[in-house]
Every structure is written in structure tokens, then in C-alpha cells.
């Protein structure tokens, strides 16, 4: 099992402590699993205190042994109740708690009230924007993990023609595709920060199931196997001459790659082929104008302009009222990190930021498009995806279960 290098944790802590100082905070308490892993290298049930200056203290409820084994932090101690936090921190000479940062974008209100009781004289501030800003710029170590995740996705996509056949269920195709990634180390621990944005490993839609919308903030929905989880692969059988849309994440050592490819048994109709080619063209035009410092909204505004000029006003990034209003999103420990490539997001896209770009179209006969993962470099975007960006046609015999 590979652990996060100590140097990575130290650099992240140093950068965060500068933010704490800039905001005039004494420290911050971290509890969200993705932030916990980023700053400690472990996701045990814990409370992490990062002071504005000095060594962090990781207080673990369960499992202390794993926390001590997995985290390179110097101070990893046992904790039975959050009420013990002030006393534990006092033992490390941390007693000034006038202003403390919390992850208020995700922290449940009842837990917030618990902190108010534990620290009755403390003023709490939202530290989540600072965390998102730090996490948005990836180190070479993090970029390599994302690159590894895209390598696993590539092998899964390349294996699809070996098991895709007419008549199989969408959920059967999903299981076989997921197995290709699982046996290569996909942890399955894909995280999203947005509230209630449940998302499984990925999404497979075939033919008109790609026209079915759902709650998820993505351009393509899917029927799902049940109304309690109404997204992605369902019980529909796969037919000839329809678009087979496969959009999956892969998580390797916590870091997410994201990619979409299109398959077809037989031949696609000309409109769908043209839409795929136009999606790839939109992607290439976006990449031409992106450079370090480009505001995050510019790729989206350009994509919408191009799609409307091509005649896809009702189909781009969803169908009519079910469209989403972005063209890409940051990737890392979470699937919805900064930058968000959407109108109103003026955050500059800087070197080290990693993101997925996904121009897609939805029609009554199905969904089609592309998605790749990138890192912004000093010279512009570099693709981390390696799978050929083409429609893969598969010739098979029909299958009857």
C-alpha cells in the first residue's frame, strides 16, 4: 500500500498555514474525508487541527493504529469525544482559539452547534474557499496519480470490444467495464463535495436511455436500475446502430480521472456521427484559446457560442430544460474541484490545475460527445487521457439470454 509522501503533506500544510495567517485565524479544524486525506494522508475517523503556526494535531477516534501507520504527521493521538479537543490541544500548547476556521460549505449544522459548545468564546469562519484554492493546483506527484487513473480507464475502454455484444443489458456492460478497472486498482472511493450529488463509478447509456434526464448535475442522465438510484446503466438491452455512451471515473490512490468514449454495434446515423465530430471540434477550439490565466468562464462561453452556431441550441450539454451550465470541472480528490468551467467563474486557470472537458449533445435517439482530462501547464493544456478519441464500431453476433 502506497502512502502519501511526508514532503507532500508538509508543503500542503505550509500553504494552508499561510492562508490561515492571511485570514487572521488561530487555526482550523478539518473533518471532511477528502480534506482530511489531503492534509494527513489518512481518512480514519478523526479531527485535524492545523494551527496558523506549528505542528498539526491529528485526533483519531477510529482507527488510531491505522492513523499512525498511514499519516506522516508527528502528532497523531487518540480521542474518544470531540469534547476532549481543547484539552488535547492544550497539551500541545495550543490554547488561543479566538478565531477558528471550519469547512462550513459541508459541515452539518448540528456538528457546528457542537463546536459552538466546545469553544463558546470562539468566532468561526469558513475556511473552505482557502482549501479549494490550495487543492486546485496539483503537485507533480498528484498529477502523476491522475495520469495513472487515466491509464487504468484506457485499458478498460480498450477491452470493451472483447465483451460488448448485441442484446446484453446496460448493467451487464457496466459490470464488465467496472471489473476491468477494479482488477487494476480502482478503489471505488469517488467523492463529490456538492450536497446530495450521489454518483456511482460512472455512467453507461445506450440509444434512447441517453435521452432520459435525472437529478445529477451532468449533461447525460440514464435510467438507472431503480428509482432510488435513477442514473446510469439500467435494464435496457443494447441494440445495433445506436450510440453506446460510456462515461466513467477512475480513482487511483484517491485521485480521479474522468473520460467518455462512444461505441456502436453496427453503424450510427449521420446526425449522431456529425454531432460527435462537432463535439471533438468544440473541444479542440476551446483548447486552442486556453492558456495560463484564462478565466474559468471563457471556455464555457466559447463552447455555447460554437454549439449554437452549429445548430445545437437545444441539445448542447443536455436537452432543452435539462441542460447543465458548464463545460468542464476540476478533478482531483473530488470530482467537482476548482476550476469550474462555467459562466460567472472568473478564477484564472493556472499551471497545475487539472480539469475534465466534456462537450456533449443529447438527442431523443441518444447521447453523444467526448470527455478528456487535462492539466494546465506553462504552455497550455496537456491531455492526460490517452484513449483514441474516436467512435469505436464493434461487429458482433446477437446474443439472447
Closest CA to 202 of 148, 257, 165: 257
197: number of Cβ within 10 Å: 13
Residue 400 confidence (pLDDT) above 50:
no
* Cα distance between residue 54 and residue 35, in whole Å: 19
Q: What is the pLDDT of residue 216?
A: 82
Find cell 463535439 and name the residue: 279
Across the strands, what pairs with 255?
252
Q: What is the pLDDT of residue 185?
A: 94
Residue 198 confidence (pLDDT) above 80:
no
Q: What is the pLDDT of residue 229?
A: 79
Q: What is the pLDDT of residue 228?
A: 82
The mean pLDDT of the chain is 95
* Cα distance between residue 307 and residue 394, in whole Å: 29
Query: Per mean pLDDT, which range of 183-192, 229-238, 279-288, 291-300 is the poorest?
Result: 183-192
Q: What is the C-alpha R_g of the chain?
A: 23
Question: Which DSSP string corresponds to 295-355?
Answer: ETHHHHHHHHHHHHHTT-TTTBTSSGGG--S-SEEE-SSBTTEEEEESTT---EE-TTBEE
Instruction: Say if pTM beats, i.e. exceeds, 0.85.
Output: yes
Mention every residue, 6+ apart, whose C-beta is less than 8 A from residue 202: 174, 177, 178, 232, 246, 247, 248, 249
Residue-range domains of the chain with CATH: 6-135 (3.40.350.10), 137-394 (3.90.230.10)
Q: Are strands 27-30 and 99-102 parallel, antiparallel or unpaired?
A: parallel
Coil/strand/helix, residue 356:
strand
Q: What is the pLDDT of residue 230?
A: 77
- Give the pLDDT band (50/70/90) at residue 95: very high
* Contacts by 385-388, CB closer than 8 A, 24 or more apart: 385/150, 385/153, 385/154, 385/257, 385/259, 386/150, 386/151, 386/154, 387/153, 387/154, 387/157, 387/158, 387/259, 387/261
Residue 175 confidence (pLDDT) above 70:
yes
Across the strands, what pairs with 256?
251
* Cα distance between residue 238 and residue 241, in whole Å: 9
Amino acid at each position: 500500500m502506497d502512502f502519501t509522501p511526508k514532503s507532500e503533506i508538509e508543503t500542503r500544510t505550509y500553504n494552508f498555514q499561510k492562508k490561515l495567517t492571511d485570514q487572521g485565524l488561530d487555526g482550523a479544524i478539518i473533518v471532511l474525508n477528502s480534506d482530511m486525506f489531503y492534509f494527513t494522508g489518512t481518512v480514519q475517523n478523526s479531527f485535524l487541527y492545523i494551527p496558523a503556526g506549528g505542528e498539526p494535531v491529528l485526533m483519531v477516534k477510529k482507527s488510531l493504529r491505522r492513523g499512525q501507520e498511514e499519516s506522516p504527521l508527528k502528532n497523531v493521538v487518540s480521542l474518544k469525544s470531540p469534547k476532549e479537543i481543547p484539552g488535547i490541544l492544550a497539551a500541545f500548547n495550543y490554547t488561543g482559539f479566538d478565531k477558528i476556521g471550519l469547512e462550513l460549505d459541508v459541515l452539518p449544522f448540528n456538528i457546528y452547534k457542537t463546536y459552538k459548545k466546545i469553544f463558546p468564546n470562539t468566532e468561526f469562519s469558513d475556511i473552505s474557499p482557502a482549501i479549494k484554492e490550495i487543492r486546485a493546483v496539483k503537485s507533480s506527484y498528484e498529477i502523476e496519480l491522475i495520469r495513472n487513473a487515466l491509464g487504468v480507464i484506457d485499458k478498460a475502454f480498450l477491452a470493451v470490444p472483447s465483451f460488448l455484444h448485441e442484446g446484453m443489458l446496460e448493467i451487464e456492460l457496466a459490470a464488465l467495464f467496472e471489473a476491468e478497472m477494479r482488477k487494476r486498482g480502482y478503489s471505488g472511493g469517488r467523492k463529490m463535495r456538492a450536497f446530495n450529488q450521489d454518483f456511482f463509478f460512472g455512467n453507461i447509456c445506450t440509444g434512447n436511455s441517453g435521452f432520459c434526464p435525472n437529478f445529477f448535475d451532468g449533461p447525460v442522465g440514464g435510467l438507472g436500475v431503480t428509482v432510488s438510484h435513477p442514473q446510469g446503466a439500467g435494464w435496457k438491452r443494447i441494440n445495433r446502430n445506436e450510440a453506446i455512451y460510456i462515461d466513467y471515473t477512475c480513482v487511483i490512490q484517491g485521485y480521479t480521472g474522468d473520460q467518455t468514449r462512444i461505441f456502436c454495434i453496427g453503424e450510427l446515423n449521420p446526425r449522431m456521427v456529425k454531432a460527435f465530430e462537432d463535439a471533438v471540434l468544440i473541444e479542440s477550439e476551446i483548447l486552442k484559446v486556453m492558456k495560463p490565466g484564462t478565466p474559468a468562464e471563457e471556455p464555457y462561453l466559447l463552447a455555447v457560442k460554437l454549439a449554437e452556431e452549429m445548430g445545437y441550441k437545444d441539445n448542447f450539454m443536455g436537452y432543452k430544460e435539462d441542460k447543465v451550465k458548464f463545460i468542464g470541472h476540476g478533478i482531483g480528490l473530488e470530482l467537482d474541484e476548482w476550476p469550474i468551467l462555467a459562466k460567472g467563474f472568473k478564477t484564472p486557470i493556472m499551471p497545475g490545475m487539472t480539469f475534465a472537458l466534456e462537450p456533449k449533445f443529447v438527442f431523443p435517439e441518444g447521447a453523444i460527445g467526448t470527455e478528456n482530462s487535462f492539466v494546465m501547464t506553462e504552455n497550455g493544456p496537456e491531455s492526460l487521457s490517452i484513449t483514441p478519441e474516436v467512435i469505436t464500431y464493434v461487429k458482433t453476433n446477437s446474443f439472447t439470454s
